[in-house]
Amino acid sequence: MFSSRWRRGAITAIAATTSLATLAVGSAIADGADAGADTPERPTITVADGRTQAAFSYRDAVREHLMVQLDVDSDRDGKLDRAGVDVIRPRETDQGLKVPAIIESSPYNDTVGRGFESEKKAWDERGRPTTFPMHYDNYFVPRGYAVVQVDTTGTAKSDGCLTVGGDSDVAASKAAVDWLNGRARAYRADGSEARAHWSTGKAGMVGKSFDGMLANAVAGTGVDGLETIVPISAVSSWYDITRSRGAKHWEGFSHYLSTALDTDPDAKCQAVRDDLRAGEDDATGNYNAYWHERNHVAQPAPEVGRVKASVLVVHTLNDQNVRPNQFTHWWEGLKQQGVPRKLWLGQYGHTDGFDFPGRRDVWVDTLHRWFDHWLYGIQNGIMNEPRVDLQTGPTTWTTQSDWPARTSAVSLHPGADGSLGLLPARTGSQSFTDVKASEADLITDPTTAKPGRLAYVSQPLTGQARISGTPSVDVRLALDKPTSNLTALLVDYGTDERVDVLRNEPQNNLHDGVQLIDEESCHGESTTADDACYKKAVNVTAKHPVHVIARGSLDAQNHASASDPQPLTPGQGYQIRWQTLPNDYVLRPGHRIGLVLAGTPAEYLYFETATGARATVDLPASKITIPVAGAALTSADFATPTRDAAPWRGPSTAPRPPRPTFLR
C-alpha cells in the first residue's frame, strides 16, 4: 500500500547487481529529479554491489552540538524545553552534498551509557561532541549519512524532565525529524539558528530498549520524513513492561527510572516524579490514562494505524526486561496495516543484534543495506529476501517468510492423575493456594504434590515438535477470596543444551546468554576519542533437565479488563482466559510437555504479595492451547505408557532465574 510513496524520490538507476556506480546526491534527490543525471561540480556518494561505500573522512567530519526547540514544557518552569542534539556529518555537506540522517534518541547518553560497553557521549572544551556512543557514526558517516543523536528530555544536555515514555519524551525525538525537514528550529551555543541545509529530509531511527521505544513512538506519530525505524528489544507498551493484566512486575518504576537517568538536582523534577508515581497506580495495577499515554504502538493505542515508516524489528524470545509480547502485539498490528517490515528473532535475553554471537558481520551488512534501500532508494534486493531471520539453537539460524510460522492449534488438557493429554478429563477438580514461591520450586518434582501449585505432564514425545507463537490458557476455577494472582508455566521436561539466559554476571562480561571476550571487531573508522571497535560476543550455554518455555500471569479480578477490575464472588466458578508470553521453541523427541498452574512466582511477580487465596480448578473445563508448527499433534506423537515402566518423577533441581533489571 506504500509502494508509490516509497518510489517518489528513489534513486531508480541502481540495480542489486551494480558493480560500481557513482550517484549525485544534491537537490536532485530532494526534488525527486533523475538521480542518474551527473552533477560533477557537487560531491557524490559511491555505490558498489548495492551498498554505499566509504568515500568520506570520518576524522574530518563536521561535529556540532545544537539545541532543538520543542513545544512542550516538561519541567513546568514556564519555558518551552529544548532538546540537546549532537550531529556528525560528512564535511562535504558544506559543499553541496545532501545526505539522509540516522537518528538515535536516548536517555542513557550521560548516565548508564549505551551498549554492553556502556559508551557515553563526550564533548570538548568548546562544547563540540567528540564521542558518539555506538558504531553507527563510525560506519555510516563515511558512507554518506549524517548521524543525529538526541538526548531525551530531562537527560544529558536537554531541558525538561524525563517522563518515561510520556508525550514530552517523544516530542524531543520527533522534533529532530521536523528540524531535518525545516519544520522546527535549532540553535547553536551563540544563539544563532542552525538549519539542516545538508539534509535530504529523509531520516531513519535506530535504538535498543528505551531508545527503540522512542523509534516506535515517533513512527506512531506518522511524522513526515521518517522513512524507516529499527527498534531493537524495544518497548511498545510501558504497561506491559510493568504489569500483566493487573499483576505487577514493578512498583515505582517510572519514578525509579526517571531519577536514575537524570543527573540534575532532584528538586528540579520532584513534582513531575510525584505525578509519575501517582499515575502508575501501584495500589491496583490497573490500566489507566497514564499507561495509555505510554502505549505507543501496541493495540489498543491508535498509533499503529499511523505508522508510515518501514520497520526492521530485532527482538529476543528470552528477554525478561522487555518481554517478547512487546514486539508480537505490535508486529501483528504492522502486519494488518501492510507496513513493510523485517524481523530478526533471537534466543537470547536483552541483547542487541550487533552482539548476537557469530552474526555481527551479517547484522551490520543487513542494517547497511536496509538504510541504503529506505533512505537512498538503492535497489539492493533486501526486500526480496525472506522476511524473518530466526535463531533455532545456540549456533543455528534459519529464514522464513513470516512469523509466527503456519501453525495448528493443539489443546492439552490436565488430568486428575497429573497427566497432560489431548483429551479433556471426564471429571474432577484440584486446588492450589496462591503463595509466593520461586519458579524453581514450582517446576521441579512435578509428580509430587505441593500446596502452591498444580503440575501436569504429558507422555514423552515420539518426534520433534515446534511451538511458534503465543500459547493461551483457558481455566475454569473458583476462589475462596475475591481475587488471586494466577500464573501458567509451559514447561519442557527434558535435558538439552540451551542458551543460558539465566546467568547474568556483569563482572565477567556475561549477559543474557552471551559473554564479551577480549577479541574485538571493527566496523567503520575511528578517532582517538571515538573508536569503531567492540568486543566480540560468544554463546553461553548450559545443559539443564527442565526449561520454562512460556510464562503468563494476571490478577484474577482483571481477567475481563485490565482497566476495570471485577472482584470474583467466592465459591462461584469463572472461566478465565489469558495468554502466556510468545516463543518459538523446539521440543526434542523424548521430552515431555508440562503445565504448571500457580499463584505468585517470586522472580516473575517480584513486587506482588500472594493473596493466600485457594483456587479450585475444574479439570474438564480447563486447557492450554499451543501453536504447533505444521500438522497438529495426535496421540501417535506421544509415547504409550507401559505397565512395567518405572514411574517418571521429573527433575528435582532447576536453575533459579534472576530478577530482571531494566537499566542495561
Instruction: Indicate which residues carry an active-site annotation.
Output: 209, 319, 350
Give the span between the Cα atoms of 38 and 229, in whole angstroms: 30
Q: How far apart are the first and last CA of the chain?
A: 37
Number of CB atoms found within 10 A of residue 323's CB: 25
Which residue type is seen at 259?
T
Give the span between the Cα atoms of 664 and 662, in whole angstroms: 6
Q: What 3-state class would DSSP assign to 257?
A: helix
Cβ distance 631 to 414 under 8 Å? Answer: no
> Considering only CA atoms, which of 484, 482, 502, 454 is closest in space to residue 600?
484
Give the span between the Cα atoms of 161 and 177, in whole angstroms: 21
Q: Report H helices in 15-135.
A: 27-31
Q: Report H helices in 208-319.
A: 210-219, 238-242, 253-260, 270-280, 289-293
Dihedral class, residue 549 (left if φ above 0, else alpha if ψ from -120 to 50, else beta): alpha
Q: How far is CA 210 from the centre of its chain?
A: 9
Give the span between the Cα atoms of 453 and 165, in whole angstroms: 37
Dihedral class, residue 86 (left if φ above 0, else alpha if ψ from -120 to 50, else beta): beta
Give the span between the Cα atoms of 413 and 407, in whole angstroms: 19
DSSP E strands, 60-198 = 62-69, 82-89, 99-106, 122-123, 129-131, 146-151, 186-187, 193-194
Q: What 3-state class would DSSP assign to 343?
A: strand
Give the span between the Cα atoms of 614 and 583, in whole angstroms: 30
Q: Which helix (H) or strand (E) holds 345?
A: strand 341-346
For 72, the grid coordinates are 512542550
Which residue type is seen at 369?
R
The contacts of residue 364 (CB under 8 Å, 6+ apart) are 135, 139, 354, 523
DSSP per position, 178-232 = HHHTTSS-EE-TTS-EE--TTEEEEEEEEEETHHHHHHHHHHTTT-TTEEEEEEE
Looking up cell 513534582 gives 271
Q: What 3-state class would DSSP assign to 36?
A: coil
Looking up cell 562535504 gives 92
Number of CB atoms found within 10 A of residue 122's CB: 14
Four-residue CA torsion sign, 301, 304, 305, 308: positive
Give the span between the Cα atoms of 353 and 338, in whole angstroms: 24
Cβ distance 306 to 341 under 8 Å? Answer: no
Which residue type is seen at 336?
Q
> What letter would DSSP give residue 29?
H
